[in-house]
């Protein structure tokens, strides 16, 4: 539970009534994005106000009529999900920057330039953000925003999201230490440990992550790994 000194206001105006709660900013935003957060950890006090500054509580009759419950925890969830969370401008800017970096990372790792088959460098993606005047919504999750942002970037930056299936053969001497990297970077579809100890796998990976994946495997196997793209989709 956040302290009152560190709490921010979340409020909802509905049917002419004001409802306010005092919340932990980060946890309230996480809950608003649909993440599994215990509402008790979000609230500074388990009360619903009509004016938090004055300490005036919201009438239970109004909560019952509008939210069909007078349980402050249930009402608080609705206020966060449907209302607004008051953030300082510095906090908003920090959130936007964090989400921008996450979206750039997704585009870099999952997308490729269809003209070259290679991922776009992060700097090129960031420059396209500026040129396309992309707006980051601090209240929406990263995944919710990716598709719309890609549509805005495409006139400036050709982007294709492609998944590849890759067959990999790792010599026995490197197989055990490379196995964790294979599972970390890709989705393991098939695996076979051969009698001589070699590891043969079929994996699925985002095209944009392929270059980094191959680099890791080549480092671990001193260049002795064998790879072959068997399917693109």
The total number of structural domains in the chain stands at: 3
Averaged over 127-146, what is the pLDDT? Answer: 92
Domain check: are 206 and 221 in the same one? yes
Beta-bridge partners for 226: 169
Per-residue CA distances from 68 to 13, 62, 209 (Å): 16, 9, 48
Domain check: are 190 and 171 in the same one? yes
Domain check: are 205 and 141 in the same one? no
- Please tell me the predicted confidence (pLDDT) of residue 90: 84
Please state, in angstroms and rounded to a whole number, the distance separating the CA atoms of residues 18 and 214: 56
Q: Residue 194 burial by CB count (10 A; 0-12/13-18/19+): exposed, middle or buried?
A: exposed
Other Cβ atoms closer than 10 A to 205: 22
Say which CATH number the domain at 221 has: 3.30.70.240
Looking at per-residue confidence, does 162 or 56 come out higher?
56
Please say if the pLDDT value at position 55 is more than 90. Answer: yes
56, part of any domain: yes
Using only C-alpha atoms, what is the Rg of the chain?
A: 25
2, part of any domain: no
Domain check: are 172 and 146 in the same one? no
Tokens of residue 48, six digits: 């619903």
What percent of the chain has pLDDT above 70?
100
Say which CATH number the domain at 58 has: 3.30.1250.10
Domain check: are 156 and 179 in the same one? no
pTM: 0.65
Beta-bridge partners for 23: 8, 43
Domain check: are 227 and 169 in the same one? yes
- Please tell me the predicted confidence (pLDDT) of residue 54: 93
- Residue range(s) defining the domain that contains residue 195: 162-232
Domain final residue, candidates 85, 100, 132: 85
188, part of any domain: yes
Averaged over 150-164, what is the pLDDT? Answer: 91
């Amino acid at each position: 539970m956040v302290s009152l000194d560190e709490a921010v206001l979340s409020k909802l105006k509905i049917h002419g009534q004001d409802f306010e709660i005092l919340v932990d900013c980060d946890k309230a935003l996480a809950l608003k994005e649909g993440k599994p957060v215990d509402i008790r950890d979000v609230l500074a006090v388990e009360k619903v106000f009509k004016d938090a500054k004055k300490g005036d509580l919201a009438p239970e009759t109004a909560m019952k009529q509008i939210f069909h419950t007078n349980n402050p925890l249930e009402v608080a969830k609705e206020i966060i999900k449907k209302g607004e969370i008051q953030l300082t401008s510095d906090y908003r800017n920090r959130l936007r920057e964090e989400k921008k970096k996450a979206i750039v990372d997704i585009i870099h790792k999952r997308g490729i330039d269809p003209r070259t088959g290679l991922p776009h460098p992060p700097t090129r993606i960031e420059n396209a953000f500026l040129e396309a005047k992309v707006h980051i919504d601090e209240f929406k999750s990263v995944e919710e925003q990716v598709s719309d942002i890609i549509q805005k970037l495409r006139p400036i930056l050709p982007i294709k999201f492609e998944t590849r299936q890759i067959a990999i053969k790792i010599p026995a001497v490197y197989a055990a230490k490379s196995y964790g990297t294979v599972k970390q970077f890709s989705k393991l579809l098939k695996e076979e440990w051969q009698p001589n100890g070699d590891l043969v796998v079929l994996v699925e990976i985002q095209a944009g992550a392929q270059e980094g994946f191959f680099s890791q495997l080549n480092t671990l196997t001193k260049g002795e790994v064998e790879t072959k793209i068997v399917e693109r989709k």
